[in-house]
Amino acid sequence: MTESALRAPIVKPKVGRDDWTMRAFIGVIGLYLVITLAFPLYAMMSKSVRDNDGAFVGLANYIEYFATPALTWSIGNSLQVATITTLITVTIAFTFAYALTRSCIPLKGLFQSITMIPILVPSLLPGIALVYLFGTQGLIKELLFGYSIYGPIGIVIAEVFFTLPHAIIILITSLSIADARLYEAAVALRTSRLRIFLTVTLPGCRYGLISAAFVVFTLAITDFGAPKVIGGDFNVLATDIYKQVIGQQNFEMGAVVSVVLLIPAVLAFAIDRVVQRRQVALLSSRAVTLEPRPNRGFDAAMLGFCVLVSVFLIGMLGVCQFAALVKFYPYDLSLSLKNYNFDVMDGGGWSSYWNSIRMATYTAGFGTVVVFSGAYLVEKGRGFRAGRTLFQLLAMMPMAVPGLVLGLAYIFFFNHPNNPLGFLYHTMAILVISTIVHFYTVAHLTAVTALKQMDPEFEAVGASLKAPFHRTFRRVTVPVCLPAILDIMIYLFVNAMTTVSAVVFIYGPDTNLASVAVLNMDDAGDIAPAAAMGMMIFYTAASVRLAHFLVSRHLKRRTQAWRIR
């Protein structure tokens, strides 16, 4: 207690029991991410600089890759398809979002729900629909004026279908944060509608546009389902990986192509992160919400556009359902359920469907626990900065890793003869693990956003009341964040149902999945059963989605006594 004239002693905070528990949990979940993400990626990178026998060969594989025109063409093909898709999708999505936010058209809720359809199906399905619409026997192939749907045209249409909802969500958010006062000012100055659009609207949602563009670009360049089904001879990077690995079991070259594919994906991801941060800044300074005013001509045009897009989206599904129910397209159009006899087809039969449901359920269950706990510890933990920062970084990584790359990385890591975790290979567990990791980032961000909206002092109050952190977590954090937790669950469930890319490399004889079955049936030429299975996935995802909506609404009603802010 003597006040020495020297320097005061440096305090080393005592790490309490709560802190130890939290650190242990961060450690465990962090380790989980390291083992299921960082290690496999490392294994993949290292595979790309080794030969078949595992000897280090430097960049020899890369040199071989770039000396093989058949492979390098795909880079250009991928960029071309992704770029065109981005332009088309962003244009459609912007117009659609504009209609929903800035016009007075009716049925906005319905339109918005319809745009979410593509999220509920594997990206293979639009390809299948296009075969029936524009293939040699296509229902409306005349619309292509003799061009073949197999190739870039088909890929682009399928990718537009597949990426549209993602772009629309971003742009609706972006357009709805506009400040009405800017528009009032512009109108007061008698600015023309076009000029307002060019000088207020577009600049106002520029970050949304950039972000949407990069998200679409990444999805389109890394997607594998659409080019697989409808790409024909038009090779892209994603199908090259598959071809190298599955078709030729040339794992080293698969790793090389994966690294090549990682580059645009990581770049796009990085740019998108920067842009998103800016958009968030805009969001927090939002002001008066804009209420659109009726304008008959404009509203009619917007309504027409929305109907057109909706017809496109529903039509793609409708044609798949039609094909699934027809006996022998195009020669015998009588109805039949024979295409649902999955057990006599490639792809694992009905058991693959049940596997998918099990896999999606486990993923939603375990994934939500892992993701939300992880986000909580990162967000609310005290001290242990380095650990938390590292964790945050790991949690953001999966977004930049294409599914195929992740799946391939899993082969390298988990199928390595010396890996003690090798027993996981081909099991349900590894499918669940990979799917959780594959979709970790978005789920994590959802959790973080919800946690950030909570009063930051709950934990401090809990601690002052001598309640251990896990009690406050259970009794306060979880109930308050329940809507977000349900969102994470449904997100993981739906994606686990529809994903093909990562799991296609790691499913085993007992763990066939519905989405992979779609792929394999299409591969074997059984396209109608593939469509049937694809529609099974859609109905499942859609019903779960509906159930989620009902549960959320019920919850909202039950808790509205305290949820009003």
Partner 1 sequence: MQLATLFHRGVTTVAAAGLLAVSAATSAATLTVYTAVEAEDLKKYAARFNEDHPDIEIKWVRDSTGIITAKLLAEKNNPKADVIWGLAATSLLLMKSEGMLHPYQPRGIERLDPKFVDKDDPPAWTGMDAWVASICVNTVEQKKHGFATPTSWVDLTRPEYRGHVAMPNPNSSGTGFLDVSSWLQIFGEEGGWQFMDALHENISHYTHSGSKPCKQAARGEVPIGISFAFRGAKSKADGAPIDIIVPSEGIGWDMEATAIVKGTENLKAAQTLVDWSVSEKANMMYNEGYAVVAIAELAKPVEHFPEGILGGMIDNDFEWAANNRKRILGEWQARYDSKSEAK
Partner 2 sequence: MPSNPSSSDFYLRIRRLTKKFGEFTALADISLDVLDGEFVCFLGPSGCGKTTLLRAIAGLDIQTAGTIEQAGADISALPPSERDFGIVFQSYALFPNMTAARNVAYGLESRRHSREEVRSRVRELLDLVGLPDQGDKYPAQLSGGQQQRIALARAIAMSPGLLLLDEPLSALDAKVRARLRLEVKALQRRLGITTIMVTHDQEEALTMADRIVVMNHGVIEQVGSPVEIYREPASMFVADFIGTMNFLAAEVTQEGAAGDGGIRTGAFVLACDTSGHSPRERVTAAIRPEDIVLLDAGDSETPGRVGDSRNTGGPRSTGRAENAAEARNADIAPRGGAAVDATVEYVEFLGAFARVELACAGERLRMDLPIAQVQRFDLTAGSAVRAMVPREAVRLYAGAPPDG
Which token pair is 308?
């057109």
Q: Which of 105, 290, 345, 357 binds partner 1 (CB under 8 A)?
A: 345
Could you say which of partner 2, partner 1, none residue 563 binds, taking C-beta under 5 to 8 angstroms by partner kind?
partner 2
Could you say which of partner 1, partner 2, none residue 190 binds, taking C-beta under 5 to 8 angstroms by partner kind?
none
Region near partner 2 per CB under 8 A, out of 267-275, 317-325, 334-342, 461-469: 461-469
Q: What is the dihedral of CA 248, 511, 541, 515, to 10 degrees?
A: 20
Nearest by Cα to 398 from 386, 410, 412, 387: 410
Q: What is the dihedral of CA 125, 128, 129, 130, to 10 degrees?
A: 120
Q: Note whether 9 binds partner 2 by CB under 8 A.
A: yes
Cα separation of 424 and 463, whole Å? 40
Could you say which of partner 2, partner 1, none residue 346 binds, taking C-beta under 5 to 8 angstroms by partner kind?
partner 1
Q: Note whether 50 binds partner 1 by CB under 8 A.
A: no
Residue length of the chain: 565
Using the minimum distance from each CB to partner 1, give the nearer residue, 135 or 402. 135
Q: Do residues 403 and 507 touch, judged by C-beta distance below 8 A?
A: no
Q: Which of 182, 526, 533, 541 binds partner 1 (CB under 8 A)?
A: 526
Backbone angles phi, psi at 189, to 5 degrees: -85, 10
Q: How many residues sit close enough to partner 1 to count as binding (CB under 8 A)?
A: 50
Q: Which of 189, 233, 464, 509 binds partner 2 (CB under 8 A)?
A: 464
Q: Do residues 234 and 152 touch, judged by C-beta distance below 8 A?
A: yes
Cα separation of 17 and 237, whole Å? 50
Contact characters 128-167, partner 1, x per CB under 8 A? ---x---xxx------------x-----------------
Cα separation of 391 and 537, whole Å? 33
Using the minimum distance from each CB to partner 1, give the nearer residue, 165 or 403. 403
Q: How many CB atoms lie within 10 A of CB 99?
A: 24
CA distances from 118 to 17, 168, 323, 552 (A): 47, 12, 18, 22
Q: Note whether 386 binds partner 2 by CB under 8 A.
A: no
Could you say which of partner 1, partner 2, none residue 232 binds, taking C-beta under 5 to 8 angstroms by partner kind?
partner 1
The DSSP-derived string for 36-98 is IIIHHHHHHHHHTTB-TTS-B-TTHHHHHHHT-HHHHHHHHHHHHHHHHHHHHHHHHHHHHHH
User: What is the nearest approach in angstroms of partner 2 to the Cβ of residue 12?
Assistant: 6
Q: Of 479-518, which residues contact partner 2 (CB under 8 A)?
A: 479-480
Which chain residues interact with partner 1 by CB under 8 A?
A: 70, 73, 131, 135-137, 150, 227-228, 231-233, 235, 239, 242-243, 246-249, 251, 327-332, 343-347, 349, 415, 417, 420, 422-423, 425-427, 429, 508-510, 523-527
Which chain residues interact with partner 2 by CB under 8 A?
A: 1, 3, 7-19, 382, 455, 457-458, 460-468, 471, 475-476, 479-480, 559, 561-565
